[in-house]
Structure 1
């Protein structure tokens, strides 16, 4: 099992939570981005910088993640690809992507994007806060415990 992080837009605090879990459980983590990433001092943490380009990081993760892996991403199209592949997706706000909810979330994302483009609504998601961080840490802990015990 490996944890993949769609690192371009992932909050630093979420990465730190994942890094602590990685060390505690001896799980490898791979950060994927199209910009340079800070070096890490753990043998368990690697980074991949992909070429600039629309969805290049997403494509890399979707291509390399296996059905045993966990992918941390706020990108719903990537989450849909991951779930279709049998891997587990987790939003940085702690919501698990499943076969049951990812299609609905993708439809809602598309609708909101269309409404923003037409000027009917403005803005994006709420600011990332303390509650989001706590929800993510709890969800990640529960998810990893379940996966390590083999109860996918």
Structure 2
């Protein structure tokens, strides 16, 4: 089991790295070159940089992830592809994407994009809070424990 992170705008990257180290799991951060950092990462963390462009990081994650891997993303399209591949996609706000909720989430995204295209204003996401981060970390730990016990 590996953890892949859609890392361009992920607010929980440090928490993921910490939990993964405690659980002895490798982490792969995928981000575009616009987010380049020469910060040293722990040995269990690999950073892959991709060209800047729409969905390039998503396609790289799908290329690398295998059935049973965790993928941390806020992108509903990537989450949908992960479900089809047998990965477990998790949103940084602390919920797991499932076959039961992905259609609703994709439809909501589509309707918002359609409204914006017609000139309407839509609400953006609520600000990320410390409570959101704690909820995410609890879910990540619980999911890892469950996956390890299922093996």
TM-score by length of 1: 0.92
Instruction: Tell me the distance in 1 between the aligned counterparts of 2:46 and 2:111.
Output: 36
Instruction: Tell me the distance in 1 between the aligned counterparts of 2:78 and 2:38.
Output: 23
Instruction: Tell me the distance in 2 between the aligned counterparts of 1:136 and 1:75.
Output: 16
**Residue ranges of structure 2 left out of the alignment (5+ in a row):** none
Cα contact 1:4–1:71 (8 A) shared by 2: yes
Deviation at 1:38, TM superposition (A): 4.3
Instruction: Tell me the distance in 1 between the aligned counterparts of 2:56 and 2:80.
Output: 16
Task: Decide which of 9, 20, 23 is 2:21's aligned counterpart.
Answer: 23
Deviation at 1:118, TM superposition (A): 1.9
Deviates more, 1:32-41 or 1:123-132: 32-41
Cα contact 1:6–1:57 (8 A) shared by 2: yes
Instruction: Tell me the distance in 1 between the aligned counterparts of 2:83 and 2:121.
Output: 29
**Residue ranges of structure 1 left out of the alignment (5+ in a row):** none
> Within the alignment, does 1:89 sit opposite 2:103 as a pair?
no
TM-score by length of 2: 0.93
Aligned to 1:30, what secondary structure does the other structure show?
strand
How many residue pairs get aligned? The number is 149
User: RMSD across aligned C-alpha pairs, in angstroms?
Assistant: 1.3
